[in-house]
């Protein structure tokens, strides 16, 4: 197959649904830098994009909040990131389809619980829609009532300052009012799997 002249070719090895081949992959092939997966805007689907984004290894958090009627919500989120040190700002994003969205949208605060490598079960629990994700867990109410979980690597208690629309997600920016850290090993999420940061070698 002439990879450079086919506009619509079959899936490549990595399984990108519809692969559009153009000038860029031909140049890559000739320079031995062919990507495992190549998509451009006309062809990429959300699965291919999700696969590509999963190359970005992240930590794993459980973000929690408490609504005006004392309802507690929490979800596993790896979209957490730092924004600024001065002001101390962090962000994370929430799917518009998440059942917890109405409460996160009105909550005055949120807490970010950064999970340790022995908390993968907790990550799975908070990634599953359940009537009460906190049942049987040890937690206490932090600022604004946002649940603080035991056994984490770090916790950030934040005022829910800004909410931006971002495609099919809402982006929450919070101002950190309190944080704590422990000497524990972080849980990592990469290529769709939970891993321990302990298994990672220094380079």
Binding site for ligand FMN (CB under 6 A): 60, 73, 75-79, 92-95, 98-100, 127-129, 189
- Report the distance separating Cα 169 and Cα 152, nearest Å: 26
Write down the least CB distance from residue 164 to ligand FMN, Å.
14
Write down the least CB distance from residue 96 to ligand FMN, Å.
9
Write down the least CB distance from residue 19 to ligand FMN, Å.
27
Select 94 or 116, whichever has its Cβ closest to ligand FMN: 94
Write down the least CB distance from residue 136 to ligand FMN, Å.
17
How far is the CA of 154 from the CAs of 11, 18, 55, 126, 198, in angstroms?
42, 41, 24, 17, 16
The residues pairing with 20 across neighbouring beta strands, listed in sequence order, are: 8
Select 25 or 147, whichever has its Cβ closest to ligand FMN: 147
Select 18 or 98, whichever has its Cβ closest to ligand FMN: 98
For the chain, percent helix, then strand, then coil, each to nearest 5?
15, 40, 45
Select 38 or 156, whichever has its Cβ closest to ligand FMN: 156
Residue 167, by phi and psi: left (phi above 0), alpha (psi -120 to 50) or beta?
left
CB 84 within 8 A of CB 170: no
């Amino acid at each position: 197959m002439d990879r450079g002249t086919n506009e619509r070719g079959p899936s490549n090895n990595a399984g990108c649904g519809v692969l559009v081949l153009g000038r860029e992959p031909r140049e890559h092939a000739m320079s031995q830098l062919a990507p495992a997966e190549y998509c451009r805007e006309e062809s990429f689907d959300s699965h291919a994009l999700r696969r590509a984004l999963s190359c970005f290894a992240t930590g794993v958090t459980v973000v929690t909040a408490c609504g005006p009627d004392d309802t507690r919500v929490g979800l596993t989120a790896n979209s957490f990131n730092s924004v600024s040190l001065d002001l101390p700002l962090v962000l994370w994003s929430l799917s518009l389809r998440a059942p917890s969205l109405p409460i996160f949208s009105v909550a005055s605060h949120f807490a970010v619980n950064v999970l340790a490598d022995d908390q993968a079960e907790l990550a799975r629990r908070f990634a599953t829609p359940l009537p009460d994700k906190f049942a049987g867990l040890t937690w206490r109410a932090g600022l604004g009532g946002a649940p603080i979980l035991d056994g984490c690597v770090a916790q950030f208690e934040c005022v829910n300052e800004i909410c931006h629309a971002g495609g099919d997600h809402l982006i929450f920016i919070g101002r950190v009012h309190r944080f704590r850290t422990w000497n524990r090993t972080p849980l990592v999420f990469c290529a769709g799997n939970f891993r321990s940061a302990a298994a990672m070698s220094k380079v």
